Amino acid sequence: MSVRGVVVDAYREALPALVASLIGGLIAGVVLGGMRAELQAVPGLLVLVPALLATRGNVYGSLGARVATALHQGIVEPRVRGGDERLRAAAAAALGNGLLASAFAAVVVFLLLSALGRGPSLLQLVAIALVAGLLSGVVLTVVVVTVVFAGYRRGQDPDTLVGPIVTTTGDVFGMLFLLVAVRTVLALGLGGG
Amino acid sequence: MPTEWTVRAITRAMLPVLLALTLVEVGSGMVLGAFETSLFTYPSLLVLVPVTIGTAGNLGSILASRLSTSFHLGTLSFAPGDETLVGNAVATVALAVSVFPVVGAGAWLLTSLSGSARLPLLSVVAVALTSGVALAVLAIAVTLVATYGAYRLELDPDDVVIPVVTNVCDVLGVLVLFGVVRLLL
């Protein structure tokens, strides 16, 4: 193929997924922009945002890729009802690892900012990370598995579905549930002051 | 070798990499924290944050997965004149040039609708486009280095390159946005 052919091909193939993730990213941005009061009320929250969003992409992107590969190899049936043990193990592992990474991020942010004398609250950051991680994890597991299965049954390559779905829904739900988590934790008065 | 489908086996394969990537992302959060005053003063910039870092990671991961496929098919050589390499690199820049002005305009419009826009439309579009093009170039460099590294170390680029590229580009996204804001505003 000529260079021009490669360029046109690559551009056309990537544009739809990129546009979908842009829309997701902009919605996430609007939520973040609307969170200014909370971001100022919780020291360290802004620092935590990239790690929490990336964890969603890393964990559930990997879950999606794993399920897609398993479908190709025929080791998982594209049905949720069967209560497939392997599927449940993969989902449980994703959720558990996502929570561990979120809490880890909160602890690291706490340590770094404490060293800089910014006075964050460990309890507050960890609680926000865990609540947001749990809520977005449950939703993302359901969305990723459902969409990959549905796409596969309609004859689409699940591998090409996973990336755009995870980045788009991960950004939107990741940010929305972060807002829910922050409001909940602030309402409960955890670690305030 | 495929990982066994148990919580323990999946965790063992995934957790160390996940925690390392989390550390990298906390680094990008620290940069974000360093310019929070600008972000709180100009809400359009805050709206740009997730979409800029996300798109940078996406540009890198799309390029990485295409290069890794041609690598598996044996059609990729790491020569400067390689058609697959040059074509995909050019397409990455073209994608950035066409989507980032829309990102900037979208961020400005959404901030205006919520009544808190303080920067003119052109400034936000300029920040988005400049960051986007710089990020596309960086994403190409990171992807090439990571794919070549995987090839030299005889690792499967599918396993290694995409997570590395996505997360490194996330960090670069914040750094570039920070740099461009300092330069242009």
Tokens 């080791």 -> residue: A75
Select the CATH number that applies to the domain covering B20-184 from these four: 3.30.479.30, 1.10.357.20, 3.30.450.20, 1.10.10.10: 1.10.357.20
User: Do B165 and B146 form a contact (C-beta atoms < 8 A)?
Assistant: yes
Angle between helices B7-34 and A85-115 (to 10 degrees): 30
- Are the beta carbons of B23 and A46 separated by less than 8 Å? no
Question: What residues of A are in contact with residue B94 (Cβ under 8 Å)?
Answer: 7, 11
Q: Which chain B residue lies closest to A67 (C-alpha atoms)? A: B5
**Contact status of B114 with chain A (Cβ, < 8 Å):** yes
Judged by CB atoms closer than 8 Å, whether chains meet at B86 and A3 is answered as: yes
Range among A19-33, A71-85, A129-143, B73-87 with highest mean pLDDT value:
A129-143
Highest mean predicted confidence (pLDDT) among A130-144, A157-171, B51-65: A130-144
pLDDT in tens, A77-90: 887 765 688 888 99
Return the percentage of chain B with pLDDT > 70, whole number: 97
Task: State ipTM.
Answer: 0.87
pTM of structure: 0.87
Mean pLDDT (chain A) is 89
Query: What's the confidence (pLDDT) of residue A117?
Result: 87
The per-residue pLDDT for range A167-183, each reduced to its tens digit, is 888 889 999 999 999 99
* Domain map (residue ranges) of chain B: 20-184
> For B111, which of A33, A62, A69 is closest by C-beta distance?
A33
Residue by residue, DSSP assigns B147-180 as HHHHHHTT--HHHHHHHHHHHHHHHHHHHHHHHH
HSE of B174, CA atoms in CB hemisphere, 13 A: 26
Mean pLDDT of A143-161: 84
Instruction: Quote the mean pLDDT of chain B.
Output: 87
Residue B82 gets the label, from left (phi > 0), alpha (psi -120 to 50) or beta, of beta
Query: Domains along chain A?
Result: 3-188 (1.10.357.20)
| Report for A55-59, A80-84, A126-130: range of highest mean pLDDT | A126-130
pLDDT at A191: 65
| Confidence check: pLDDT of B29 > 80 | yes
- Of A139-143, A160-164, B40-44, the one with minimum mean pLDDT is A160-164
